[in-house]
Structure 1
């Protein structure tokens, strides 16, 4: 059975799952130890309803991380934000801040979920950059070139933040954000020079 994610009832049920998961996370402080049964019991919803919404716990967790990351992005970059260097700086800073904080809450048992969460976050960064670059309607570049630029930038920005969050070096976050912004800006020059 497929569900319509825009249906208000579906949204409410998913929100109930998310809220229940967050409450369990606050109690147990370990993603690994929270089961589908724990989530559905807390939400007072049947397991079959959970599986109507999500294929499994991993699909739920990917959705949870995507929503959490989108919420943070929307707070700092509203949906109507356009591409400019200030917004790009805000995006880079947000990614660094989010990943550093995310790592602080990961327990050894949760490490198995890291790649899945990172991919979900990177996809969201790519989606936003592609939206921004597409809105610029650069006549001189093909759709493929714009897509490739968004892909390379998203992985470059996200990869830098991910690496920094795993093993911070002697650089401050502010220095890293500045450096990544400069590299991104240089890589965008051919796109923005008309």
Structure 2
């Protein structure tokens, strides 16, 4: 059964389930221990409703992570402007901050199974943002080059953030962000000319 995600009732139900999950996460501090039944019960919907919206817990978690990441980027870049060094730095810093905060949810061995799912969801959102921005900003550059640049840049930013988040005590986020900014700006320059 396909549902219309633009329907206000569907949006409300999804938001209710997302908020219920966040409440449970704050109480338990463990993603793995939260079941579909727990989410449905807290949201006062039945499991059938949950499964009408999401194929399984993994699909729910991917959607949850995408929405959290999109919200973070909208808060930090309200006009989605990354057309200058300041905007690009804000974007990179936002990714670093979000990845570090997400790592806080990955305390147990069981929770670490979700890390690849979350990473792919975040990287894809970052790719989409960069792709849309480069499509607007680049003139007479082939679609293939825009796609490749978006892909390489999104993985470069995201991969750097993930690597840094594993040992944040070794180097400040600001120092790492500054170095990533230099590399990313240089890699984007040919596409933005």
Greater displacement, 76-85 / 28-37: 76-85
3-state DSSP of counterpart to 2:168? coil
Q: TM-score if structure 1 supplies the norm length?
A: 0.95
Cα distance in 1 for residues equivalent to 2:176 and 2:13: 40
Cα distance in 1 for residues equivalent to 2:3 and 2:145: 35
What is the aligned partner in structure 1 of residue 124 from structure 2? 123
Greater displacement, 115-124 / 168-177: 168-177
Per-residue deviation, 1:82: 4.7
Long gaps (5+) in structure 2: none
- Superposed CA deviations along residues 125-167 of structure 1, whole A, max 9, x for unmatched, are 101111110011411x101101110100000000000010012
What is the aligned partner in structure 1 of residue 85 from structure 2? 85
1:33 counterpart = 2:33: yes
Q: CA RMSD in A?
A: 1.2
Cα distance in 1 for residues equivalent to 2:95 and 2:80: 19
How many residues in Structure 1 have an aligned counterpart in Structure 2?
A: 192
Per-residue deviation, 1:41: 0.7
Q: TM-score if structure 2 supplies the norm length?
A: 0.95
Per-residue deviation, 1:80: 4.5
Long gaps (5+) in structure 1: none
1:107/1:62 Cα in 2 relative to 1: closer, same or farther (>3 Å)?
same
Per-residue deviation, 1:192: 2.4
Dislocated runs of 4+, deviation >4 Å: none
Cα distance in 2 for residues equivalent to 1:101 and 1:45: 29
Cα distance in 1 for residues equivalent to 2:103 and 2:76: 20
Cα distance in 2 for residues equivalent to 1:32 and 1:143: 40
Per-residue deviation, 1:27: 1.1
